[in-house]
Structure 1
């Protein structure tokens, strides 16, 4: 099926090129691109929407400044390169501000599965060694409930309006932070991360990418799926899923617009696709089935949609055939 119609593509993991380590004064031990893509787009397309959430749109210039403020915020908390920052939240504009800020001061993002509870959350925070823990209104109580089992000192930051004892306010910290570029050596590319697996044996394992995704693989994936700056990408799956965050970040590298759905809901996702003329999205086959079911019950105009990228699990051929028929 051609690109003029919805293309269902299965994501293949690019092969990692082995690079021999060499001594370096950089906080990361591999070659990374020094170009900050967000700063480039803020200068070249300052008024273009970078993010859309509901009725709110954030342009590249504003996101760039907010990322600078976030970088200053974590720097002032005493974070040092390669420190971990855990985030338990639904998809949000704050999440993009924080992830770009972390990249600019060479910190490691640790997305936390928002379905974890109690000792599961405590284990992940202890195992990752997170110096800072961020949570939104929907998860601040969950994280706070795990604190008795968390070893050592952590900075706890509430990104929403709910602020518990011992927590700092993200809004207050950001309001006092300058929006100019920080004189620190950040990481290029997509930034470093430690993403925990959901394996079937033992505790989750942290997959540490100290250099993020190298630029060769970024360009390879962009080329494979034909992504470009004019795309409008819907981020609707859970951001703690590596591929969901990866494809959203790829579109930011390109200077494309990312439409954010905080948590997947099929009818809501279809409405966002129609309203914002979405061209691409990534999701697991389970979400695709829900999307197809909802579209059959209440059809939307999805003529702008040209690529649904699938991953995380095998997709039955029957579902692909049905999706191509229903989605157009």
Structure 2
């Protein structure tokens, strides 16, 4: 039987079977059942349809992790319109680029961030502007709650195909202009099903939103948590005290986050003795750069949470690999912390291979480095109106495979471990050095709060590793450790050619909203007086 896979099915199912069950704990204090969440989404669909939004039109959402984001996403997609969530930590210039690039017809914005859109509204094609609290926003904005209160919930849902684009997610933009990743009903639906399976999501789960919903639709959790009938606990951002209180009071059982969130929790708990769980057992999935083993050990032994690592990219939904494999990782072994930080194995229905420059799979010897390639149903349709970039992403070493640009090794059980990004590898005297290995080594030093390694120019070696270190005391003028101390620390633990001789103490590292370190900013500053970079990092 051929039945189209549609993202609207997730809320439809929740309303049918869990209509009277609590769906959302809002940041404003309200609690909504799935019937109520669905009704609010229907009314927004009617509002947008009345304003001329049709199937295929783009509607942007600029909102932290509130109930409005969930309502807007489904209200948009029920019309067959294209949900375009925006990173709420960008600048007006960024929004001007994205709104023009996608040709956005309407914007739904949180009151705290609407001014960023107001600043460029005359420079974009958008005609409809809706704010979650219009009275708090300068300019001509309609109020979200007033609109849906006055609206009839009836709207015309068009016929939709699983191959039609339903969402555009903009990449982090760590280099150059961000690209709009097109995702169809089919890619979103299958990815959400994979997330549900591999994260073991069930209808009695309570999910805490620390991961941005705008980031590839919250890794698919706006669908997975909804469709399975679980509960969303919304937030306006990461705050260790507030989030830990939510975990206890709402009996949260699951959250996904960047590793930096776990570090914030760890730092808060060093000074505050509070419970880390409610009545429900807790599990957490982290992604981005893998956290140090010490953090994973703290999460499992001191927080009492079950940890797993996720690996992915906006272009792939994002799930590419996961360390959620209980048969390949002995939960009673101390080795589990090192294994759990690996990017793991491919999910169901997904082909992942680490290949050499000729496109041949590297041996599973945990030594041979290759690039990670992906092929699967959850991989993007392509980049919005960028056919050349799309072709480049899929047809380099192997035609039809998405090329991640990540370099990895594979152990005897098939668990991947990323060594570096292609652009972040350091080429020193002809030797390849992994910046991730050096970062992990330095991060284990008790006086290092955060660290980023980049290639720095060297007359002798071409490139040499340089560390930008946020000291544990937060004071780069008076750090508790010296450059010589850290050089000696790496010399004791690494091969001689990998030793870090150059250290710069800083108060913070440049990061994206999802916690990725923007190394290009550090590289550009370090190499501004050079003609080129040896490794082209």
Normalised by the shorter chain, which TM-score bucket? 0.7 to 0.9
The reply on whether 1:138 has 2:112 as its aligned counterpart is yes
What's the RMSD between the two structures over aligned residues?
2.3
**Equivalent residue number for residue 318 of structure 1:** 294
Q: CA deviation at 1:180?
A: 3.6
Q: Taking structure 1 as reference, are residues 216 and 139 closer, same or farther at Cα in structure 2, changes over 3 Å only?
A: closer
**Equivalent residue number for residue 159 of structure 2:** 185
**Equivalent residue number for residue 12 of structure 1:** none
Q: Aligned ranges for residues 1-328 of structure 1 at < 5 Å?
A: 31-33=4-6, 36-54=9-27, 55-150=29-124, 152-161=125-134, 162-180=136-154, 182-185=156-159, 192-211=166-185, 213-242=187-216, 244=218, 246-298=220-272, 299-302=274-277, 304-328=280-304
Q: TM-score when scaled to structure 1?
A: 0.83
C-alpha distance in 2 between matches for 1:56 and 1:112: 24
Task: Judge conservation of contact 1:106–1:187 (CA < 8 Å) in 2.
Answer: no
Instruction: Please list every run of 5 or more consecutive structure 2 residues that lacks an aligned counterpart in the other structure.
Output: 305-537
Task: Judge conservation of contact 1:236–1:283 (CA < 8 Å) in 2.
Answer: yes
Query: More deviation in 178-187 or 56-65?
Result: 178-187
- Quick one: higher RCO (CA 8 Å, sep 6+), 1 or 2? 1
Moved over 6 A (4+): none
Instruction: Please list every run of 5 or more consecutive structure 1 residues that lacks an aligned counterpart in the other structure.
Output: 1-29
Q: CA deviation at 1:274?
A: 0.3
Q: Taking structure 1 as reference, are residues 176 and 143 closer, same or farther at Cα in structure 2, changes over 3 Å only?
A: same
Task: Judge conservation of contact 1:47–1:59 (CA < 8 Å) in 2.
Answer: yes
What secondary structure is seen at the aligned counterpart in 1 of 2:104?
A: coil
C-alpha distance in 1 between matches for 2:193 and 2:101: 32
Q: CA deviation at 1:225?
A: 1.6
C-alpha distance in 1 between matches for 2:126 and 2:200: 45
C-alpha distance in 1 between matches for 2:188 and 2:26: 29
Q: Which has the larger radius of gyration?
A: 2
Q: TM-score when scaled to structure 2?
A: 0.52
Task: Judge conservation of contact 2:192–2:220 (CA < 8 Å) in 1.
Answer: no
The Cα offsets for residues 102-122 of structure 1, whole Å up to 9 and x where unpaired, read as 121111111111111121211
C-alpha distance in 2 between matches for 1:248 and 1:165: 30
Task: Judge conservation of contact 1:233–1:279 (CA < 8 Å) in 2.
Answer: yes
Task: Judge conservation of contact 1:292–1:326 (CA < 8 Å) in 2.
Answer: no
The Cα offsets for residues 236-269 of structure 1, whole Å up to 9 and x where unpaired, read as 2322222635224311110000101111111111
Q: CA deviation at 1:206?
A: 0.9
